[in-house]
Homo-oligomer: A and B are copies of this chain.
Amino acid sequence: MNQDYIKPDSWSIIEEGFDPSRVKSSESLFSIGNGAMGQRANFEEHYSGDTFQGSYIAGVYYPDKTRVGWWKNGYPEYFAKVLNAPNWIGINVFINGEQLDLNSCKSLYNFQRELNMKEGWLSRSFRATLENDVQVEVYVKRFLSLELDEVGAINYEVTPLNYDAEITFQPYLDSGITNEDTNWDDKFWDTTNVSHTNNQAFIEARTMKTNFHTCTFMESKVFISNKPILVEHNVKADSNRVSFNYSYPVKKGDTYSIQKFGGYTVDRNHDKSELIEAAKRILKTASGIGFSQMLKNQKTAWANIWEMADITIDGDEKAQQGIRFNIFQLNQTYLGKDSRLNIGPKGFTGEKYGGSTYWDTEAYCIPFYMATKDQKVARTLLEYRYYHLEKAIENAEKLGFKKGAALYPMVTMNGEECHNEWEITFEEIHRNGAIAFAIYNYYRFTGDYSYIPEKGLEVLIGIARFWEQRATYSNDKNKYVILGVTGPNEYENNVNNNWYTNYLAKWCINYTIEQIEKVKAEFSSDYSRITKKVNLTDKELSLWKTVSDNMYFPFSEKYQVYLQQDGFLDKELISVADLSKTHRPINQKWSWDRILRSPYIKQADVLQGFYFFEDHFSNEELEKHFDFYEPFTVHESSLSPCVHSIQAAKLDRMEQAYTFYLRTSRLDLDDYNHEVHEGLHITSMAGTWMSIVEGFGGLRVKDNKLSFAPKIPNQWKEYSFKVNFRSHIIKINVSHDKITFILDGKDSLDVMVNNKNIKIEPNSVVTV
């Protein structure tokens, strides 16, 4: 826990004072990104202390040869590594020849870091006295442009306070970088060209194996007291580094500063022979606009995002800071411009987990993007899976499935599976269901059916085929069973009849059959195209139906609950509350076998099904299942508290709902799990948004209408959020005594509030 480290502030993340042991944590927390690239908050100048260097380019990864203790048939050949890209932010600083290094300076005062979420920039300031007794004041500001997403900008100011001093800025590019995480210490980058002209430099490098071509570039200008000056610069270039030296005799009290533009052009967006040309164009544009104007544009761009995505919380500054941090990081990670990209679990803030895409995207992130962005962003996320359908079919074939059955990967960069724990890779197959659910959810929310006949139906058919083949008939039960799976609760492995998986499988088949019928009736040319392409027969459909109609669900008569899996009641059912604190977190304290045979649940499993399909179950059923399972839940996944918060709110247990909310919203800021140095939990941040909007706000879409059932935690005075619902922008304000709605635009909108229909007229405040 980290509680007093980050200052409460409604719009900024602020760190005061320098603590070397916090450097890696802060590098994560103060990360910046613009959807196309991102970077940890590494210092520009040299730092000899403990640091975790990371700069990442969306979609650029390395297939690291799989490493296991004991090879099992079916393991993927590689694990896609999030790749630390060449460094362009570096600016070494020398004062009278002595290098500025916060780890070795004589003294350091007034260290402050600010991540301004409202405007989208990171700053750092401090006063340092060097071994040579020169005291300098430093102020640095940096951002990655939303407007020009291949470029970032840095303004680095140094003021000698007690002496005149010769100050040298040494901006550089460096492709001699490594990953923290590598299986075999492979070299990931091959530098093909290092060049420079005037005040610009370029390093072309390609990734080994994947052969992504990139150009890392920079351009610098120096100033005295904000006035540009011409300084002769020395250039030093070698096989994977190029640096410029700008030395200047600075008078005591004067500010010597450097503005550096830099970034990446990549062959995803340009021909690989034109990466330098593209870099020159972007540099010309950026320096033409200039640092100050770019910063203004950055503020405007972020204002536009916040206009739609902001959630305000009155009366609880830490909660306010938490939710904005989550919304900010989600927008730094993914903006929906490119269907080849997705939302990595650590975004651009670390390497852990690798890959870019988990089921988190469909299960947790899509609702956020649907409600706070143009609906084409969510459609772009769906399309990502459509483009991977062929690979998903190949994945399934590798596991022995046939005839177009599709198993989407657990972790992927390009559609191929690249995770290698058998109990997860091969058995955590429920991910397939979340992908189908997202298609349903997208249509339910946006009303845009066109996606299904155009693309979605093929995905659904591949998934339904998988479930039909994966279910097997038990003579003993006289039912179809699904054996050997891992559910969302990864603290159970290779179980039989995980209720959530079985339920999802049945639902997927039924939903697919319904969509086939609807497409057949309403989009006949799509129907012909698809059935021909995938060779779908009535016989196959009838087989699906047999499986779905006869699916087995473990149920306890005694407790009147669905069982998480066969045999769950054989466990020693000691609640988490009765477990000594010394045993927790169990994933750090217990060996794996002990966890597996315990009843403890890592994250919502049966309750995840109740979350997805809440209209299939009564409130009484929800309550029974919540009361049965939550007491065994250790919430050791970042994706756990949000679902529980939403359900507690639904059950009117606001204290519990609020506790869960806090745990999810400040998970990283307060470093609950002692791991923020590895990067942020990006995908779970969307769960925090859901906790407020779906949990406290009670937002649902029912029969093509928005529905609300707003509640408010006692600890808050008031909160508000906005939703983009089928081109209606509606803002809702909830306080303890009233709910108000404001609708943008021209058309009125009927919404349900606590089950009553309310007509909201545009541009007027409606109070309930």
Interface residues of A (CB under 8 A from B): 66-70, 72-74, 79, 398-400, 420-423, 426-427, 472-477, 481, 483-484, 493-497, 558, 566-567, 569-573, 587-597
Minimal beta-carbon separation of A426 from chain B (angstroms) = 4
Check if A400 sits within 8 Å of B571, measured CB to CB: no
| Bound Cα distance from A587 to B70, whole angstroms | 13
Which listed residue, B67, B495, B591, touches A398 by the CB 8 Å rule?
B591
Check if B481 sits within 8 Å of A570, measured CB to CB: yes
Sample of 14 more A-B contacts, CB < 8 Å, known A69-B421, A427-B593, A483-B571: A67-B68, A69-B69, A69-B79, A73-B592, A74-B591, A74-B594, A422-B592, A426-B592, A481-B570, A483-B567, A494-B596, A497-B570, A566-B566, A566-B567
Chain B residues near A589: list those with CB within 8 A. 73
Q: Name which residue of chain B comes closest to A401, CB basis.
A: B594
A426 touching B593 in the complex, CB below 8 Å, given contacts A68-B69, A421-B69, A483-B570: yes
Check if B591 sits within 8 Å of A426, measured CB to CB: yes
| Bound Cα distance from A497 to B496, whole angstroms | 14
Check if A70 sits within 8 Å of B400, measured CB to CB: no
| Bound Cα distance from A588 to B72, whole angstroms | 9
Choose among A74, A422, A475 the residue with the greatest number of B CB atoms under 10 Å from its CB: A422
Chain B residues near A66: list those with CB within 8 A. 69
Check if A567 sits within 8 Å of B569, measured CB to CB: no
Which listed residue, B399, B567, B595, B597, touches A594 by the CB 8 Å rule?
B399
Chain B residues near A481: list those with CB within 8 A. 570
A475 touching B569 in the complex, CB below 8 Å, given contacts A73-B590, A400-B591: yes
Which listed residue, B68, B74, B593, touches A593 by the CB 8 Å rule?
B74
| Bound Cα distance from A88 to B291, whole angstroms | 73
| Bound Cα distance from A426 to B400, whole angstroms | 29
Check if B475 sits within 8 Å of A591, measured CB to CB: no
| Bound Cα distance from A314 to B70, whole angstroms | 43
Q: Name which residue of chain B comes closest to A421, CB basis.
A: B70
Copies of this chain assembled into the complex? 2
A475 touching B72 in the complex, CB below 8 Å, given contacts A67-B67, A422-B593, A592-B422: no
| Bound Cα distance from A484 to B592, whole angstroms | 10
Check if B483 sits within 8 Å of A592, measured CB to CB: no
Chain B residues near A73: list those with CB within 8 A. 587-592, 595
Q: Name which residue of chain B comes closest to A484, CB basis.
A: B597
| Bound Cα distance from A494 to B596, whole angstroms | 8
Minimal beta-carbon separation of A467 from chain B (angstroms) = 14
Choose among A473, A567, A593 the residue with the greatest number of B CB atoms under 10 Å from its CB: A593
Check if B592 sits within 8 Å of A473, measured CB to CB: no
| Bound Cα distance from A343 to B423, whole angstroms | 32
Minimal beta-carbon separation of A489 from chain B (angstroms) = 14
A484 touching B422 in the complex, CB below 8 Å, given contacts A477-B570, A493-B494: no
Minimal beta-carbon separation of A479 from chain B (angstroms) = 9
A572 touching B473 in the complex, CB below 8 Å, given contacts A69-B68, A399-B591, A421-B70: yes
Minimal beta-carbon separation of A119 from chain B (angstroms) = 40
A496 touching B567 in the complex, CB below 8 Å, given contacts A68-B68, A472-B572, A597-B472: yes
Chain B residues near A426: list those with CB within 8 A. 591-593
Q: Name which residue of chain B comes closest to A72, CB basis.
A: B592
Chain B residues near A483: list those with CB within 8 A. 567, 570-571, 596-597
| Bound Cα distance from A399 to B597, whole angstroms | 12
Choose among A496, A570, A594 the residue with the greatest number of B CB atoms under 10 Å from its CB: A570
8 interchain residue pairs of minimum CB distance: A74-B591, A426-B593, A476-B569, A484-B597, A483-B597, A474-B570, A72-B592, A68-B69
Check if A573 sits within 8 Å of B68, measured CB to CB: no
Chain B residues near A474: list those with CB within 8 A. 569-571
Minimal beta-carbon separation of A80 from chain B (angstroms) = 13
| Bound Cα distance from A363 to B461, whole angstroms | 50
A596 touching B421 in the complex, CB below 8 Å, given contacts A74-B591, A572-B473: no
Chain B residues near A591: list those with CB within 8 A. 72-74, 398-400, 426
Q: Name which residue of chain B comes closest to A494, CB basis.
A: B494
| Bound Cα distance from A67 to B475, whole angstroms | 42
A571 touching B472 in the complex, CB below 8 Å, given contacts A398-B591, A426-B591: yes
Check if B400 sits within 8 Å of A570, measured CB to CB: no
Chain B residues near A588: list those with CB within 8 A. 73
| Bound Cα distance from A450 to B61, whole angstroms | 65
Minimal beta-carbon separation of A665 from chain B (angstroms) = 28
Minimal beta-carbon separation of A10 from chain B (angstroms) = 39
Which listed residue, B475, B493, B592, touches A74 by the CB 8 Å rule?
B592
Q: Name which residue of chain B comes closest to A425, CB basis.
A: B593
| Bound Cα distance from A558 to B399, whole angstroms | 33
| Bound Cα distance from A201 to B207, whole angstroms | 51
Q: Name which residue of chain B comes closest to A556, CB basis.
A: B476
Chain B residues near A475: list those with CB within 8 A. 569, 573
Minimal beta-carbon separation of A427 from chain B (angstroms) = 5
Check if A570 sits within 8 Å of B476, measured CB to CB: yes
Chain B residues near A484: list those with CB within 8 A. 593, 596-597
| Bound Cα distance from A587 to B72, whole angstroms | 8
Q: Name which residue of chain B comes closest to A67, CB basis.
A: B69
| Bound Cα distance from A400 to B572, whole angstroms | 15
16 contacts between A and B (CB under 8 A): A67-B67, A67-B69, A73-B587, A73-B590, A74-B591, A399-B593, A399-B594, A400-B591, A400-B594, A426-B591, A427-B593, A474-B569, A483-B567, A494-B494, A566-B566, A567-B567
Minimal beta-carbon separation of A385 from chain B (angstroms) = 22
Q: Name which residue of chain B comes closest to A66, CB basis.
A: B69
Chain B residues near A566: list those with CB within 8 A. 566-567, 570
Minimal beta-carbon separation of A431 from chain B (angstroms) = 14
Choose among A69, A74, A427 the residue with the greatest number of B CB atoms under 10 Å from its CB: A69
| Bound Cα distance from A587 to B588, whole angstroms | 33
| Bound Cα distance from A595 to B399, whole angstroms | 10
Q: Name which residue of chain B comes closest to A422, CB basis.
A: B592
Chain B residues near A573: list those with CB within 8 A. 475
Q: Name which residue of chain B comes closest to A583, CB basis.
A: B400
Chain B residues near A473: list those with CB within 8 A. 572
